Chain A
Amino acid sequence: MAKKIFPYLLLVPTFIIIAIFIYYPAFQTFKLSFYRMSPFGNRLFFVGFQNFWSLFTSGQYIQSALTTLIFVTVTVIGGLIISLLLALLLNERVPGIGIFRTLIFAPYAISPAVAGTLWAFLLSPVAGYVSYLFLILFKAQPQWLTTYPLALIAIMIATIWKNLGFNVIFFLAGLQSIPQSYYEAATIDGANSVHRLLRITIPLLSPITFYLIVMNVTFTAFSAFATIDVMTQGGPANTTSTLIYKLYQDGFVNFNTGFASAESVVLILIMAIFTYLYFKFGQKAVFYQ
């Protein structure tokens, strides 16, 4: 008997935590999205789909959805291309490569908030070196953090930089799992280095790339909150306010609980679709490549 319940006992701590801090809030989110809270927060009124209606007709919400889409797309694609190029370089067998790898992996340890203050400094008008570089090169000194669309670009730069370490580690692991004999065979058949890259390396990296896309989309959409909060606080004129930033503002600055819950429901549904696609198409490829 004791033997039978043993595996369940092992699962108890994990499931208690998950039930209270994930399932229950998920249930509450769906429930609250159909209610409106009284001004003092002590009573709930059922309002049906009204929160969702005001959500989808809100210009600000649509704008923040578009901002998120642009921000995530550019950051993920740009970041992955740069990371792949870096990984190809770090895959070369030259003296001291271990040191270069360690140094280039390092941004992994950097938090989104730290990335935010570092780039806010580099892009600042007087003390910032990037601003100064722009003045020398282009005779222009843009106000990075307070003009559209530069503020969004600034956050993209900080996020791409912060994600480099993680992405390069994975791409490099992927490159090293490709058998050297494939390249030798291709070389004998007369393939040049561009051919080898396009016909061998990139196709064989596709499972890792898929995994990295999924991870990067989640990081970029959510963890960039800290970078945004430190660099622009959603400004100028909400042009760097992503869905998660807007959720925070509606929930904890404007105290519009029903509206914020409707926003949460949308995010939960997006993540559910994401999870489904990940396990349908990605999991096998990634775990058993």
Chain B
Amino acid sequence: MKKNKMIRTILIEALLIFVTIIILLPLFLAVTMSLKKPSEVFVYPPTIFPNSFYIQNYINAFNSINLGRLMLNSLIMSVVIMIGKTIFGILSGYAFSNFRFKGSSLLFALLFVTLFMPAELIMIVPLFQIMQSLHWVNTYWALTVPFLASATTTFLMRQHFMTIPKELEDAAKIDGAGPMRFLLEILIPLSKSTIGGVAVINFVYAWNLYLWPLVVTNSNEMATAQIGLKMLTNVESTSNWGVIMAGTLMVLAPTLILFFAVQKLFVRGIVTTGLKE
């Protein structure tokens, strides 16, 4: 019996190693390709390990499409969206979780219906026209402002605040703390990890946006890193995969590093986005 269990464990370990390798293989092959000299890229049959350690591909990716600027734009966009969505989500979530007011269920329903209405995708034509009339095309305003609030973050924060005992609020009232002080000094400190999880997820969401930045920016100065990938594929017309993979890995790096650095927050955030704790 004990021996059977050990065999089972070994088989499972072997299977786990196998599937992990398969799933991460595209990333691994991208790394090795990104270190190949142009002369090695099209060697046939393809070799896995590069003969060289050709860092120049990364420099070329930066130079050929102004990638540094594009990554800076993505960073600005993602940080602003992350902060806006999280703060506005906390405020509106708090309104729905801790207050009874006239019209609250109507307002809640009005917010609900936007949950599956990604305007930047399915209403992109009129949304673009709004940007034109505001003279926001090709600016940071267009990249950030439409995304500053969302139903998802509001619901998540509401859902979370509802799990915090009512007694705390009553106690704060007795101590003479107003509702804003209660939010800032009690509710938010008690919700740090949920807020952290939501913030990281909103950052990744913004960093990975594609269609909207593609439509609303029209210069190498204002485009974002994701759009850079398309530019890179077009510029490298001979398909120098070494340079393209170097660029791809740099565009991926911020979110991947963030993912590994705060994985616990991440998973918590992802799961609580849809599930009651």
Contacts and interface: CB of A to CB of B under 8 A. Distances in A.
A119 B25 CA distance: 11
Interface string A227-244: 001100000000000001
Q: Is the interface of A mostly helix, strand, loop or mixed?
A: helix
A-B pairs with lowest CB-CB distance, top 5 = A111-B208, A28-B126, A226-B210, A17-B149, A10-B95
A112 B123 CA distance: 20
B232 to A, nearest CB: 8
Interface residues of A, number: 94
13 contacts: A11-B92, A16-B149, A26-B117, A94-B9, A104-B23, A106-B27, A129-B46, A230-B233, A244-B121, A244-B211, A247-B124, A260-B125, A275-B115
Contacts of B208: 111-113
Interface of A: 3-4, 6-8, 10-11, 13-18, 20-22, 24-26, 28-29, 32, 86, 89-90, 92, 94-97, 100, 102-114, 116-122, 124, 126-129, 132, 161, 164, 166, 169-170, 173, 208, 211, 215, 218, 222-223, 225-226, 229-230, 244, 247-248, 251-252, 257, 260-261, 264, 267-268, 271-272, 274-275, 278-279, 286-289
Main SS class of interface, B: helix
Given A109-B252, A127-B41, A247-B124, A94 B13 contact: yes
Contact of B29 (A129, A215, A264): A129
B276 A288 contact: yes
B122 A106 contact: no
A203 B115 CA distance: 27
Given A22-B117, A25-B119, A286-B275, A108 B270 contact: yes
Given A106-B260, A226-B211, A229-B210, A114 B244 contact: no
Given A10-B95, A109-B258, A20 B148 contact: no
Nearest to B259: A109
A173 to B, nearest CB: 5
A54 B148 CA distance: 36
Contact of B145 (A21, A26, A272): A21
Contact of B91 (A4, A13, A26): A13
